[in-house]
Structure 1
């Protein structure tokens, strides 16, 4: 590991990382993503990702556990706390972060249990759905163009490490879903079978729609099944991330 002590905010590596923190889709131009905190770094390492760069504060360098994490990278930068704050998107900045080089976008796995995100806007919802997908054994997430950037800092934080175990493909058109061999299943409050009584195909691709508009009419027409989640409390609808968690759990439960 190459270790450098940096005191200038104009250091090229720090300039690049600041771009990743302020631009939600900056990773698409730069080809890498910034993750902050030891939890996300450990999650990446456990899934076999090797950081291209680790940045840690001078105080963190005195912590044996954090210093050991820094050794996982090809290069590490030690910076004053004030410089690290310039890279942070947290109210209470962490003491360590890493830059990960993103692989080329994979091809769609036709037979994989999947989640399709149809123009979801809220980064917290997207990250939470990725977290549920990873928890319930779904391996692939497909994002239709217009969905919040999957590797944006807010989505990565909400995902809590789920990103590193998922096959993530974004910027898709609805027509691209023709590559799937598994049936599409959507949640709908209209003309739908109650989830607990529906004959769920396994594997399948769960379609989760825009927070306000739901699944588009065109995409809904492609779905083999529509299911509804009973809401005896009388609410009009569930938060999309909550709905996704319920549906993915039910799919997993049916497997026994």
Structure 2
């Protein structure tokens, strides 16, 4: 049995710890300056624990603390109990959660070669980014490389949209286009006007799929680097697909292709 975590009760909104949480909750890039991320809500917290991650601090609302599962508190070496009004004040949710974890964040992750990868090329909508991370994790892609101009991967909106997918992925932020060459796997890009139809193509595995800006698509530089250009059939006649929907189709197709080859 380990020792009981240190317990601190906070009632003042001017407390320095409360101010830190407020910045992490409300500023999408504050985690880069502070070196910590804020996971609000039991779903994200349980997802982190399931991946073996250890929170630095467990935070509970005062009303929830007496009924909080013991293992949630014991996962951290320090526990902070906030007055309910304080927890609501720092929360980024319409209905504030009753608990959260403060986690240390590693800013030094580099591109790894040979991994099934998704490259995000200036994808700016947080919901799209989080959805793509979920698809990546679901379909066996283990690395996501976000080029400069992409929404902050560990922002609150992306974390909520990712639904815990972050913790099973190798995430690289603020990468340059040249860093894509370090992947050393075939790069595939989608296009509405050129390339093979995805349901007819022989897709390589492992590979890297590049998903581009919501309006501008994949940059010309990545287009030139690509070994495959793929189109998604749209018999309904729409001009284009939402980038998160396109990513789900492409990553699923790669996953199925790899399984068929293994079988």
**Same fold flag (TM > 0.5):** yes
2:166 corresponding residue in structure 1: 163
1:202 corresponding residue in structure 2: 205
1:107 CA displacement: 2.2
1:140 CA displacement: 0.2
1:71 CA displacement: 1.9
Superposed, 1:245-256 pairs within 5 Å as 245-256=248-259
Pair 1:35 & 2:28 matched: no
Contact 2:32 2:107 in 1 (8 A): no
1:86 corresponding residue in structure 2: 89
1:4 corresponding residue in structure 2: 8
Task: Give the gaps of 5 or more residues in structure 1.
Answer: none
Counterpart of 2:100 (choices 72, 97, 101) is 97
- Partner Cα distance (1:40, 1:68) in 2: 15
TM-score (norm 1): 0.97
Contact 1:105 1:168 in 2 (8 A): no
Name the SS of the counterpart of 2:90 in structure 1: coil
- Partner Cα distance (1:155, 1:130) in 2: 9
1:243 corresponding residue in structure 2: 246
For these two proteins, the number of residue pairs brought into alignment is: 255
1:203 CA displacement: 0.5
- Partner Cα distance (2:73, 2:238) in 1: 48
- Partner Cα distance (2:194, 2:43) in 1: 43
1:217 corresponding residue in structure 2: 220
1:92 CA displacement: 0.5
- Partner Cα distance (1:23, 1:146) in 2: 16
TM-score (norm 2): 0.95
